[in-house]
Structure 1
Amino acid sequence: MLDLIDLRGYVKSIGSVKNIAIDIAEKALWSVVNTAERKLFGDNFIISNLTPYDVIYRDRIMSVRHYLPLEDASITIGDDELDVASVRHRVPLVLVPPLAATSMIFDLMPHRSVVRYFLAKGFDVYLIDWGHVTEADSDLSLETYVLEWMPAIMQQVRKVSGEQDVSIFAYCMGGLLSLMYAAVSGDKNIKNMITVASPIDMHSSGVAGRVLSTIYRPAQMVSQLMNISLLDLPAKYLHVPGWVNSLAFKLTSPVGNVVNYVEMLMNMWDREYLKEHLTMSQWFDDMVDYPGETIKDMAVHMMINNRMAKGTMTIGKQKAEFKKINCSILAFAGDNDTLVSIRAARMALDIVSSEDKEFCVVPGGHAGVFAGGKAPANAWAISADWLAERSN
């Protein structure tokens, strides 16, 4: 009897080993297939920018998208099923991306899409796409973005939506541009504004902030004594290639990037995993050039002189006074953001005159706070509820 039991155990163990071997062989096969397809047809693995839209405005490389209403009764966001609202809020929502990163982060993946989330919550959604900057676009300045493009964008959104009031939901540098536009234009029909990880006080953000704070006085003295300024340099010499922006972003978490790469290699057999991983990687890898003229403006006015935190700054020939902003405002910071500190992001409330203003610290680093796995339940959900109360 004992021998029979041992024999059965032996047979089972043989079967288990066989199953494991088959599983390993299948995974090895699919790893080879997926690796080959990735090399030959890499776009097959990219699942961003899939939500249907119409382009309602273009100027040079910049365009504005108007997203079509969702046709589904419910959608999946993260691991949750979200019912699609049957009634649309009156006030349209304009999504404003940063400059160095592409707008794809707003429609990153079907189940992690800011665009689809707000559409499901009943908002009329528009997205600014700043376009693919090259060295030929070195002349693009803060004046271009704030004084030329933002007014034209708002005019077109109002024309298409039929509404004068608008809400803004902006990430990182997008929040700075939105605040600058509101401060310069005095646009009284900006009803609501949300900024996510926007570094208003650049002297308060980590190591870079301490360096900027330290060199502020010496830089002013050198500029006055020698009568020179970064603003006098040709824009082409300060143009920053996209790969530099990508590298700088990755260096904020070098160990994390190595771990992510190893995880990808371990999961090459899993097509769905690869789609998510490679889509997210494309956002990090394919960052956009920073125009030289914009870098000049940012370096002098925002980084060295920290003008936004002081409440006023010059854009072109116009003066932006942030105390002129009276709209409802909600600002977010990430609790693990190494690029934008909580203090730097919170300054958005201090420079405006708005009476209706709130500040929230939510989970995530600089990218995670906006598009990470915890973002839908935190920054997105809080924003949607906050806007719903103020959009009718």
Structure 2
Amino acid sequence: MDLIPKPDQVVSAASNVAHKMLYGGLADLRSMPRTLIDEGLLREVYHYRPAAKVKENGDPVLLVTPLAAPSLCFDLRRGCSLVEHFVSEGRPTYLVEYGEVSFRDRNLGMEHWIDEVVPTAIREVSQHAGGRPVHVIGWSLGGIFTMLAAADRADLPIASLTVVGSPFDIKQVPLVAPIRPLLNLTEGRGIITRSYQAMGGAPKPLVKWAFQLSAFQKLVTKPMAIATHLDDTEFLAQIEAVDRFTSNMIAYPGRTFGQLYHRFVKGNALHTGAIAFGDRTIEVSNITRPVLVFAGNTDGIAPIPAVRALVPLLTGSEEVRFEVVPGGHLGMLTGRSARHTTWRIMDEWISRWSTDEEAGDEGSGDPAPVPAPRRTTKKAAAGRQAAKKPVTKKAATKKAGTKRATPKKAATRTTGDDPQIGANPARRYGSGSSRSLAT
């Protein structure tokens, strides 16, 4: 809104204030309808019901929430909901969340999510979708859990992996880097350790405070931002939705919080791509499926270098793509510009690594087998139409979807050294989009 508001701005501002006072808000906070298809200890798997007059088609998508954050991250509000986007496009859409964490869950460690929650959710989704491979999308810690589960279980029916804002090198996080040397002075007997052990984890109020602290500047300037945007309905609606998200934070289980604190924050265990659990070591280099990695250009929790550190570790992946998109930790996933940047890239990626829609015998009534994911390129489509033509040795090699190329050729990287918006040089955004923010 201008310093001296125009008449139309005054009318819009008055309308927004009246609507908020009389009706409680401007945001459409209705959740997308869903059905529970599987549950277990801190595991709830949901299928989002198809939109009216839209037929589900293609490989399913599974959204993996991080610990402590509600599933609202994927369904923030109408118009800024990744779930709504996928469902409206006819994509079979699923989500795994964990429910309320209580004191009785204090002995659960990260292994519970890596060994039980994420793998079970992937298998249940694949089965519910007729045996199709699953495109798994994990945000923040959900992305880390997804990567570790995929690295440990090569037999999971995964079509592709997408990691959104997941830091793999904590030394590159400005919020944490300055205090890491001080944390190591206590040799594990500091006040933080004694506190979370006594409380059985990190309670919800502390988690909410920590998330707000990560965006301290926005928190301080929020009243002024609201005052100067009273005529902007979309801006005010987004703030309402984010406030609801922050108010629904969930607690961390005690042992899991201890592992995150000691091994990730203090020990920076993930920067090498390998982490030990008991008598085994999980290495992300064992991942063979294609991986898409997102970083937000203003993300303070998982800044670009911390996220990009994952890329060189994925030496066994069939393809690795790194993209920088507009927004902070939550905004890059479900901000107002995400629909034109992050979601568009996800759509392209999922289509690229989806199996053929006609896979399986539709007339038999049996679930379609789990085929190896392959690219759906124009060249492949032309090859299917010209089936009578002799198959050359080169073409046969490209069609062998079940075989993995050698790591050197398989790990295709479209990263670039310049951490600009849309680091993939082949990508083009329209005017006023994320690429313009790089300058």
- Given that 1:311 and 1:322 are in contact with CA atoms closer than 8 Å, whether structure 2 keeps it comes out as yes
Residue in structure 1 matched with residue 57 of structure 2 by the alignment: 88
Q: Distance in 1 between matches of 2:218 and 2:196?
A: 37
Letter aligned with residue 324 of structure 2: V
Q: Give runs of aligned pairs for residues 21-170 of structure 1, distance below 5 A.
A: 27=14, 34-35=20-21, 38=24, 47-48=28-29, 50-71=31-52, 88-89=57-58, 91-170=59-138
Distance change (3 Å), C-alpha of 1:35 and 1:140: farther
Counterpart Cα distance in 1 of 2:82 and 2:329: 16
More helix by share: 1
Residue 336 of structure 1 corresponds to 298
Shift of 1:325: 0.7
Q: Which moved more, 1:365-374 or 1:303-312?
A: 303-312
- What secondary structure sits across from 1:297 in the alignment? helix
Stretches of structure 1 that go unaligned for 5 or more consecutive residues are 1-19, 39-43, 73-83
| Aligned twin of 1:370 | 333
Partner Cα separation in structure 1 for residue 280 and residue 199 of structure 2: 25
Within the candidate set 179, 182, 197, 2:147 is matched to 179
> What is residue 344 of structure 2 aligned with on the other side?
381
Give the whole-Å Cα distance in 2 for the aligned partners of 1:68 and 1:138. Answer: 34
Partner of 2:205: 243
SS at match of 1:119: helix
**Match among 340, 351, 372 for residue 313 of structure 2:** 351
Contact in 2 for aligned 1:112/1:371 (Cα 8 Å): yes
298-307 or 259-268: bigger deviation: 259-268
* Counterpart residue number, 1:208: 176
**What letter is aligned with 1:382?**
I
Residue 152 of structure 2 contacts residue 282 of structure 2 at CA under 8 Å; is this kept in 1? yes
SS in 1 for 2:202: coil
Distance 1:360 1:382, change over 3 A: same
1:190-218 deviation line (CA, Å, top 9, x unaligned): 22001011011112111303433x35875
Q: How many residues align?
A: 347
Residue correspondence of structure 1 range 228-267 to structure 2 within 5 A:
235-237=197-199, 239-262=201-224, 264=226
Distance 1:286 1:232 in 2: 26
The worse-fitting range, judged by mean Cα deviation, of 367-376 and 298-307 is: 298-307
Match of 1:296 among 253, 258, 262: 258
User: What corresponds to 2:434 in structure 1?
Assistant: none
Change (3 A) 1:36 1:110: closer
Report the Cα distance in structure 2 between the residues aligned to 1:318 and 1:304, rounded to whole angstroms: 21
Relative to structure 1, the CA distance from residue 318 to residue 261 in structure 2 (aligned partners, 3 Å threshold; closer, same or farther) is farther
State the distance in 1 between where 2:30 and 2:109 align. 27
Aligned to 1:79: none
What does residue 4 of structure 2 align with?
none
Q: 261, 267, 271: which one pairs with 1:305? A: 267
How far apart in 1 are the matches of 2:133 and 2:303? Answer: 31
Aligned counterparts of 2:199 and 2:111: Cα–Cα separation in 1? 19
TM-score, scaled relative to structure 2: 0.70
Task: State the partner residue of 2:383.
Answer: none
CA RMSD across the alignment: 3.4
Q: Percent identity?
A: 25
Distance 1:390 1:274, change over 3 A: same
Which amino acid in 1 is paired with 2:354?
S
In structure 2, the CA distance between the partners of 1:188 and 1:269, relative to structure 1 (3 Å rule), is: closer
User: Partner letter of residue 374 of structure 1?
Assistant: S
Structure of higher RCO (CA pairs closer than 8 Å, 6+ residues apart): 1
Return 311-320 or 381-390, whichever deviates more: 311-320
What is the rounded CA distance, in whole Å, between the counterparts of 1:69 and 1:166 in structure 2? 17
Using the alignment, how far apart are the partners of 1:361 and 1:271 within structure 2? 27
